[in-house]
Amino acid sequence: QAGGAGAEKPLGDSKPVSVQRGGKEEAPLSPAQKVKEAGRDFTYFIVVLVGIGVTGGLFYVIFKELFSSSSPSKIYGDALEKCRSHPEIIGVFGESIKGYGEATRRGRRQLVSHIEYVKDGLKHMRLKFYIEGSEPGKRGTVHVEVKENPERGRFEVRYIFVDVDTYPRRTIVIEDNR
């Protein structure tokens, strides 16, 4: 006969056995056991704090890289939009203009070449990336320089110019605020 907790079961010719669960009383901890348990809890607390710190650091870096006005990715995106909307660039390369960076070893074109430097106490950044249009064989190299505006705390474009890499070679100046 099957039963739940506390049910009696005859086992062959032996006496019935009674099963009880729970109800185990814990003995009081000695001072050495209390110190050991407190040390273990403190270690877990430190591990959790380090994890939170690392996660916060990652979120900060991601936010700064993707959403900050001073990140190379943001400056690249803004410069590419200016190229896409400039009438002379559209006339040379066609309507559909795509931008890309340096080629990696695997052949992917994701790295936008940039250099940061300080001149006259202000941060500057130069970027170089490439564009292609819908016109067959038309390619260009875009050069951008931005300068930090101390009043706004943001980078402002000093110049954007595009070297047309195919015949006839020429340079198109989009913005010149020197």
- CATH value at residue 111: 3.10.450.320
Q: Is residue 1 one of the residues assigned to a domain?
A: no
More confident position, 150 or 82 = 82
With pLDDT > 90 as the criterion, what percentage of the chain qualifies? 47
Host domain of residue 161: 70-176
Same domain, 80 and 138: yes
3-state secondary structure (DSSP) of residue 87: helix
Q: What is the pLDDT of residue 12?
A: 55
Sequence-separated contacts (24+) of 72-75 with Cβ below 8 Å:
72/112, 72/114, 72/125, 72/127, 73/112, 75/114, 75/125, 75/127, 75/144, 75/146, 75/155
Same domain, 119 and 43: no
11-15, 60-64, 65-69, 92-96: range with lowest mean pLDDT: 11-15
* Cβ within 8 Å of residue 16, ≥6 positions away: 8, 9, 10
In the numeric block, which tokens belong to residue 142?
A: 């875009």
* Confidence category of residue 84, pLDDT binned at 50, 70, 90: very high
- Please state the domain count of the chain: 2
Answer yes or no: do 93 and 145 share one domain.
yes
Asked whether the predicted pLDDT for residue 178 surpasses 60, the reply is no
Residues 43 and 105 in one domain: no
- Over residues 41-57, the pLDDT tens digits come to 999 999 999 999 999 99
Same domain as 107, residue 54: no
Q: Which amino acid belongs to residue 31?
A: P
In-domain check, residue 92: yes
Query: What global pTM score does this model have?
Result: 0.60
52 with 139, same domain: the answer is no
